[in-house]
A = this chain, B = another copy of it.
Amino acid sequence: MHRTKVRIVEDALDANNTIARANREDFDRAGVSVINLMSAPGAGKTALLERALAGLSNEGVRVGVLEGDVAGSFDADRLADLHIPVMQLNTDNGFGGECHLDANMVRTALGTLPLAELDVLIIENVGNLVCPAEFSVGADARIMVCSVTEGEDKPLKYPLMFRACELVIVNKIDLLAHLDYDIDRLEANIAQVNPKATTMQVSARTGEGVDAFRRWIIGVPARAKAPA
């Protein structure tokens, strides 16, 4: 059973990469920079977006969000208040309740997104620290949100996710005073698995540190166009 399974997963990933490249070509043609935003369930991806995206159009950056969830449109409903294009993609409708977004699911949603009116598209992935890291969706940048309530050991227990991301946002720092949590140990663990990662400490609840993340989003199009 095991050998067969490994072979199937490799085939699926190859197909995924083919479709991810097609997505990238469409994004490039439309001049849209794309962020794949990942985290464990409840780490605060949506709360962070609520804070960071408010008023971003005043900065000359037009942003849209593709919300991925197994079920429901709770996150899309929250972001609708921001008056930006938000599209909900449920993985249990026709996708079998998948634990991640893959390139084909994103491609399925492309026709519903006003790409010509966007500078940045943020794809909020399904809350999961394992599977989303394995599936390219055609993004320019990968971000993960890591909550201080999850413990300092997560980079060592889920190394692939931490390695897959250029930016690690450490959220819920407003709770640090109430936790037995060593944020320096977290930073050391992140550095151990991904020395190149940038980290930001934020509280989506109080807004502390969110401005740095907002500036990072604003800078994504310029960085995507810069020669590597």
A residues with a Cβ closer than 8 A to B are: 1-2, 5-6, 8-9, 12, 15, 19, 40-42, 69-72, 74, 94-99, 104, 126-131, 134, 147, 149-151, 153-154, 156-160, 172, 174-175, 178-180, 205
Contact residue among B97, B104, B130, B178 (Cβ-Cβ distance under 8 Å from A97): B130
B residues within 8 A CB of A94? Answer: 2
Q: How far is the CA of A12 from the CA of B104 in the complex (A)?
A: 22
Q: How many copies does the complex hold?
A: 2
B residues within 8 A CB of A15? Answer: 1
Contact residue among B12, B96, B150, B180 (Cβ-Cβ distance under 8 Å from A41): B150
| Cross-chain contact B99 with A153 (CB below 8 angstroms) | no
For A151, give the chain B residue with the smallest CB separation. Answer: B42
- Given the interface pairs A42-B149, A149-B175, the reply to whether A130 lies near B74 with Cβ below 8 Å is no
| Cross-chain contact A42 with B175 (CB below 8 angstroms) | no
Q: How far is the CA of A93 from the CA of B210 in the complex (A)?
A: 38
| Cross-chain contact A157 with B69 (CB below 8 angstroms) | yes
- Given the interface pairs A69-B157, A156-B71, the reply to whether A127 lies near B40 with Cβ below 8 Å is yes
Q: How far is the CA of A188 from the CA of B216 in the complex (A)?
A: 38
| Cross-chain contact B149 with A1 (CB below 8 angstroms) | no
For A16, give the chain B residue with the smallest CB separation. Answer: B1
- Given the interface pairs A6-B96, A157-B72, A157-B74, the reply to whether A129 lies near B130 with Cβ below 8 Å is no
